[in-house]
Structure 1
Amino acid sequence: MAKLEEIAELLTEEIKEFENSVSRMEELQAFLMNYKIKPDTSDIDFILRRYNDNQKRAIDDQHTLMANVVSYIKKSITIPKWAIKLFCGLFACIILVLGYSVYKVSRISDIKQEAYGQGEEKAVGHFRAFLEASPEASELYQEWREPKSKK
């Protein structure tokens, strides 16, 4: 029986503690029911304002960059590939023609020398043929070439 009394005593203590807890809960409930909550959104407003300012700055920067890109595109010139190839081909032809012209001009003195030699050979050949065909002219020419001195 002593054990029963002990168990009864423990149960009564537990019931008293439970009642105390319930009464504290009722007090807290009454306090919370009468408690007025004042919403304070100043921190959230500050964060949102700062975010909004950052977004406006980012958008302004993007507009500036886009305006720069558009102005560069408007100023740029697009040249088709065929025009570039045509230009390069014409440039190569001009260089080749100029090179050939310079080569030919540099050979003019050689050509003149060769032509002079050929003309000289033809003239000498012509005079030889004339002198061989006409012995009188050959004698006169020899006298003229080796004049006799008048002593």
Structure 2
Amino acid sequence: MAKLDEIAELLTEEINGFEKSIGRLEKVHEDFKNLPLRPDTSELNALLKEYGNKQKNDIKEQQRLMERILHKVERSVLLPSWAIKLTWGLLVTVLLVLGFSIYKVSRISKKEQVAYVEGQDDAIEHYRTFFEESPEAKELYQKWLEDNGQK
């Protein structure tokens, strides 16, 4: 029985130590309850408010930009690439034809002059051959020149 008494005494001491610990905890708990500790969230609230305002401004700016983009897209005209290529091809063709026409027109006076000289030479050669083949016509022509030259 001595062992039982010893165990009972140990249990009693442990229970007393446990009760003291609980008392201390209750006292600490009451001290914490009575502390005027209030969390200060004013800085956190100010940061959140500033962040919210910034987000609102960013959203407004994005909406404004999106409206501008949509307006420009609505006003734009979409052309297929083949139409653009065809237009450029026609433009190049028109410019080439116009350039060639200007070149040809600028050379007309030179061609006329060359044709006139060739025609004159051909006419003189033709009359010369005619007068050589028919000497009577030559004599009549010279007589006519002399009559006209005297008048």
Q: State the TM bucket, normalised to the shorter chain.
A: 0.5 to 0.7
What is the CA–CA distance in structure 2 between the aligned matches of 1:91 and 1:118, rounded to whole Å?
A: 40
Q: Does 1:93 align with 2:79?
A: no
Question: Under a length normalisation based on structure 1, what TM-score does the superposition of the two structures give?
Answer: 0.66
The one-letter amino acid of 1:139's match is E
Structure 1 residue 27 and structure 2 residue 33: aligned?
no
Which amino acid in the other structure matches residue 66 of structure 1? M
Structure 1, unaligned runs of 5 or more: 1-19
- Displacement of 1:38 in angstroms is 5.7
Aligned twin of 2:124: 124
Q: CA deviation at 1:36?
A: 7.5
Q: Classify 1:118/1:33 alpha carbon distance in 2 versus 1 (closer, same or farther; 3 Å).
A: closer
How many pairs were matched up? Answer: 130
Matches within 5 A, 1:32-47: 32-33=32-33, 41-47=41-47
- Percent of aligned positions that are identical: 43
Kindly provide the CA deviation profile for residues 70-113 of structure 1, in whole angstroms up to 9, marking residues without a partner as x: 11212223332212211221121112111211121121112112
Aligned amino acid, residue 78 of structure 1? L
Written as runs of structure 1 = structure 2, the 5 A alignment for 1:1-151 is 25-33=25-33, 41-145=41-145
TM-superposition CA deviations, 1:102-147 (whole Å, max 9, x none): 1211211121122212221232233223323332221132344467
Determine helix, strand or coil for the equivalent of 1:77: coil
What amino acid sits opposite 2:70 in the alignment?
Answer: V
Question: C-alpha displacement at 1:67, in angstroms?
Answer: 0.8
- Distance in 1, matches of 2:33 and 2:119, equals 134
Gaps of 5+ in 2: 1-19
2:77 is paired with a residue of what secondary structure?
A: coil
Report the residue type matching 2:93 in the other structure.
C
Partner of 2:5: none
SS in 2 for 1:107: helix
What is the TM-score when the length of structure 2 is the normalising length?
0.66
